[in-house]
A and B are shown apart, each in its own frame.
Chain A
Amino acid sequence: MGGGAALGADQPVQIQGVSRSAFAASRTALGALLLRDLVVLRKNLWEFVLRTVIQPFLLCFVFLFVFPKIGQAVGSTHSTGGPSAFATVLVAGVVGISIMFQGVQSVALQMSQEFGFTREIEDRVQAPCPIWLVAMAKVLSGSVQGILSALIVLPIASVVHAAGVEAHVNLHWWIVVTVVPLSCVAMSALGLVLGTSFEPRNIGLMFGFVVLPITFLGGTYYQWTKLAPVRIGGWPWLQSIVLVNPLIYVNEGMRAAFTNVPHMHLYIIYPVLVGFCAVFLTVGLRNFRRRVLS
């Protein structure tokens, strides 16, 4: 479609009803779409905070408080460093998983609903901007929500634990301000792919067959670098297979940003996350366009 091309044609055309160039109209439309999402976020702020903290809080509560109390603390037997080392691994993972859930909740669930029974999307795509920009605005505001959730979750995750268990948080600022936004865009773009692929009635399937495996095999509870002992013959099969999981790179990135524990090399994390962004955005925007236009 000419949408992309028209965006570049920054020339005023004086026609009844068409007073602004496509570029100017698209820019203000993008601003308005984001403003709308922020206003909705502010309205539902408590709901947002609660749904953001509940999962990280429960994870930390069970693994870092209850387990040590009842004598089955993770990391107490053959890991070096004991429960505190596990706490340090988990805190970063909990931030990573929150970013991912934000992508699913603020983009995938909403989009699938708007495509489904509310049909709100029909009005949204009449906005005076290219169709892809409507989807892109959703990804952007999903990313902002991801960043907010990281800001909320990190302090909670680092304080909820039993006495004697302590997560060692060390902020590496350059990594924090780059890998967190990058992860948020990648996970929101994943949300766009999921939201445009699953019908509302199949959302349960999406959680069961996509979200859960990504979560459990995404290195939230363990470091990717420690998976090597899981082998068939000489092949570290689990460590190899989980490399297709985008959450691995997010969580390893969080470890690099928030802790001093060993992590996957940053030379891998950055380009792969950029690659996932590109793939998810390409597929997601294509899906979106297909569902909107006929």
Chain B
Amino acid sequence: MRPVARNRYGGAARMDNVSAQHVQMSSTDAVIRTSALTKVYAGADFRAVDELNLSVDRGEIFGLLGPNGAGKTTTAGMLTTRVIPTSGAAFVAGVDIVAHPTLAKQAVGVVSQTNSLDRQLNVWENLYFHGRLFGMGATSSRRRSDELLEQFQLSKWARASVYALSGGMAQRLMVARSIFHRPAVLFMDEPTAGLDPQSRLALWDILRELHAQGQTILLTTHYMEEADQLCERVAIMDHGRILALDTPEGLKRSVGVDTIVTVKASGDQAALAASLEAALDGVTRTRVTEHGVELHVKGGERLLARCVAVAEEGGYEVEDLSLAEPTLETVFINLTGKELRD
């Protein structure tokens, strides 16, 4: 994270020629920059977002990962001008979003959590009028609508009512609409929440394709697979703060754990966890979960065999035993002591 000096970008807000050059130079690296960005909702006694410093590079898929209420949606809301920051500063494509929300909106594409398609227009018209809204002429808007329907495999639904679309198709149309005006950043708030697994995979493919075309994407999610699979960098958020920020691999390495062992056995789970921790080398953390006792282990040899031996010596009957690599969930547990889904 590189915190932004506000005065460096303050010039962008005044939009004189000199600062416009500044913006152009700086926008080659960071498309989103925030500095001590903070939001306290009216009537709340806590900070929904707490002095956030963030920098997202051009062409990056960046993920905000965290449980519900972590401040992800508020962060995305501020960056898309829907939520007014209480303090701090944020720049999208070099535009101060607080001073110039109208300018900033030109640079922003948004896919919201809920279906916000225009119900009174058909599929094609939803795209066409979006183009007109963003200043495209009738001819070019018509052409781009056709192209995008083709690209998102919705051509044969062009004249259909949006009520006829399945959840996955509606989501695709919303993505097509959001990138219509070639925004500098595409914001996606929980893009796959509520989608069936097949549609989720299809959407991931679309996002990878957009990424390959150089589209900068910021997505919020509470699915760790989504962050892991898609994002180049992930910021793990909780209580309005970024707890860790790195590539998914970097985050997983940072835990200092090689293996997650889950032992499912009958009997006193806490006692089993204690005896396993005492008997095995390199156990950094133990947890009792609904799936059994979970051990975070660094190094260690013959783990499975030794687990079984220790459990059976203690009189436990081992039902199941599994090994896994650490995930972003592990990272989150390590940072907060709780699970993402809580």
Contacts and interface: CB of A to CB of B under 8 A. Distances in A.
B95 A18 contact: yes
B133 A9 contact: no
Given A2-B101, A36-B121, A128 B133 contact: yes
Interface stretch (A23-31, A196-204, A240-248): A23-31
Nearest to B119: A118
A123 B106 contact: no
A40 interface: yes
Contacts of A127: 105, 133-134
A260 interface: no
Interface residues of chain B: helix, strand, loop or mixed (majority): loop
Nearest to A118: B119
Nearest to B77: A294
B322 interface: no
Given A18-B93, A28-B135, A32-B132, A11 B15 contact: yes
Q: Interface residues of B toward A: which range?
A: 35 or more
Contacts of B154: none
A18 B107 contact: yes
B207 interface: no
Nearest to B31: A16
Given A15-B95, A29-B133, A125 B82 contact: yes
A191 B34 CA distance: 39
A3 interface: yes
Given A33-B133, A123-B110, A293-B84, A14 B101 contact: no
B186 to A, nearest CB: 11
A93 B174 CA distance: 45
26 contacts: A2-B98, A2-B101, A13-B15, A13-B23, A13-B103, A15-B20, A15-B23, A15-B94, A15-B95, A16-B94, A17-B106, A24-B135, A31-B132, A33-B133, A36-B118, A36-B132, A118-B119, A119-B116, A123-B112, A123-B116, A123-B117, A126-B80, A127-B134, A128-B106, A128-B135, A294-B42
Interface of A: 1-3, 6-7, 9, 11, 13-22, 24-26, 28-29, 31-33, 35-36, 39-40, 43-44, 118-123, 125-130, 292-294
Given A19-B106, A20-B135, 6 more contacts: A7-B102, A15-B24, A122-B112, A127-B105, A128-B133, A294-B83
